[in-house]
Amino acid sequence: MVKNLLFHFGSFVEWQPQIYKKPENWRMYYQETIRQMYDIGIGSLPIVILISLFIGAVTAVQFYYQMSGTLIPPFYIGYIVRDMTIIELAPTITCLVLAGKVGSNMAAELGGMRQKEHIDAMEIMGVNTSAYLVMPKVVAAILVIPILVCVAALVSILGAYIAAVPTGLFTGADYIKGIRSFFVPYNVFMMFVKSVVFAYILTSVSCYQGYFVKGGSIELGEASTRAVVYSDILILLADYVIAIILTA
């Protein structure tokens, strides 16, 4: 197992320079990047909004439950929800979800092209398939996913307000006071760093699994599953490393 992991890690690293070579036709790459940005961004927006709404709601309710009966002021709930959402929940949970939706789709798309020999035909025509098929996806994800993470953070904060204030857990004034208290802009920087790193991980790993798939439909399904599992593991590992580096 270790030997297999080391082999694929070496192949993945060796494959990277082929992805980022100079495009043969800038217009084709631009059009493909715009298409991927639409698919990743607009296509993922409903699920991101829905999940973020409930994440914020549950976070507010759970923190109210934990802090009820203590001497901690109620406005601290808004402060905690805001920072938890910005630093951890919005980038990590959003990218874990996107690894399942976007990553598996990329692996299946490239794997299908490999099995139907579309990639081989493009290579015979002189196209750098690694660059043309993968680089627009990576660039589009790095540009769009941070925007999705921002939307997730805002919706989570709104979801906490909707879940807590109308139900009478605490007042709107307390929640807004908490949102505005102790704000550290550096936390937003951490959110963007995580979102960019996670975007690169989930797209490159998923594309690698699909691009090099061998066999039939069973192997393609296994490659899609590996794309999601490996992306999620690496995202969580990167989350831990980034947290150590940026909070040291």
- Encoded tokens for 229: 């599992």
Averaged over 131-141, what is the pLDDT? 92
Q: Answer whether residue 22 shows pLDDT above 90.
A: no
Which of 95-104, 121-130, 166-175 has the largest mean confidence? 95-104
In the chain, what percentage of residues exceed pLDDT 90? 52
Q: For residue 226, count other CB atoms closer than 10 A to its CB.
A: 19
Averaged over 125-142, what is the pLDDT? 90
Q: Which pTM does this prediction carry?
A: 0.91
* Structure confidence by residue, pLDDT tens digits, 60-94: 888 888 887 777 888 888 888 999 999 999 999 99
Q: Answer whether residue 163 shows pLDDT above 80.
A: yes
Determine whether 9 is exposed, middle or buried from the number of CB atoms within 10 Å of its CB (0-12, 13-18, 19+): exposed
pLDDT at 161: 92
Q: What is the mean pLDDT of the chain?
A: 90
- Token pair 């098929």 is at which residue? 133
pLDDT at 99: 93
Q: Taking a C-beta distance cutoff of 8 angstroms, is the pair 115, 12 a contact?
A: no
Averaged over 50-56, what is the pLDDT? 93
pLDDT-derived band at 217 (thresholds 50, 70, 90) equals confident
* Structure confidence by residue, pLDDT tens digits, 137-156: 999 999 999 999 999 999 99
pLDDT at 168: 81
Averaged over 2-22, what is the pLDDT? 84
Report how far apart, in Å, the C-alpha atoms of 211 and of each of 41, 110, 114, 158, 246 are.
Answer: 22, 5, 7, 40, 33
Which of 4-13, 105-114, 209-218 has the largest mean confidence? 105-114
- Token pair 């590992």 is at which residue? 237
pLDDT-derived band at 216 (thresholds 50, 70, 90) equals confident
Averaged over 218-225, what is the pLDDT? 88
